[in-house]
Amino acid sequence: MSDLYIEKSKVNYNAMWILAKRELLSFWRNKSRVISSIAQGILFLFVFGAGFSQVEIFIGITRVDSRAFSASGIAAMVILFTGIFGGMSIFRDKMFGFMKELLVAPVSRRTLMLGRTVGVALQTMLQVSIIIALSVAFQFFGYDLSLIWRVMLILPVAFLASIGIVGIGLTISTRLNDMQSFGLIQTFIVMPMMWLSGALIPLPVQITIFNPFTYSVDLFRFVMLGVSYFPFWIDILVTASFGAILILIGARSFNKMEISQ
Spell out the per-residue pLDDT of the chain, length 261, in tens. 444 444 445 777 788 888 888 878 877 887 777 787 777 777 877 777 666 666 778 887 888 888 888 888 888 888 888 888 776 777 777 777 677 777 777 777 778 888 888 888 888 888 888 888 888 888 888 777 788 888 889 999 999 999 988 888 888 877 776 666 766 776 788 888 888 898 888 888 888 999 999 999 999 999 999 899 999 999 999 999 999 998 888 888 877 776 655
Q: How far apart are alpha carbons 134 and 209 in whole angstroms?
A: 29
The residue count for the chain: 261
Q: In the beta sheet, which residues pair with residue 57? A: 64
What are the structural domain ranges in the chain?
Answer: 11-255
Q: How far apart are alpha carbons 202 and 57 in whole angstroms?
A: 7
Secondary structure letter of residue 187 according to DSSP: I
Q: How far apart are alpha carbons 112 and 114 in whole angstroms?
A: 6
Residue 161 CB contacts under 8 Å (≥ 6 apart), including other chains: 76, 79, 124, 216, 219, 220, 239, 243
**Residue 183: per-residue pLDDT:** 64
Q: How far apart are alpha carbons 123 and 73 in whole angstroms?
A: 18
Give me the half-sphere count of Cα atoms (radius 13 Å) on the Cβ side of residue 202.
Answer: 19
Q: How far apart are alpha carbons 256 and 114 in whole angstroms?
A: 15
Nearest partner of 215 among 45, 80, 51, judged by Cα: 80
Nearest partner of 73 among 208, 177, 252, judged by Cα: 208
Quickly list H helices, the chain: 2-9, 13-29, 31-51, 66-87, 89-96, 98-103, 109-137, 146-175, 180-185, 191-195, 205-208, 212-225, 232-255
**Residue 61: per-residue pLDDT:** 82
Contact 257, 171 (CB under 8 A): no
Secondary structure letter of residue 58 according to DSSP: E
CA 64 centroid distance within chain: 25
State pTM to two decimals.
0.86
Contact 38, 134 (CB under 8 A): yes
Contact 59, 143 (CB under 8 A): no
**Residue 6: per-residue pLDDT:** 44
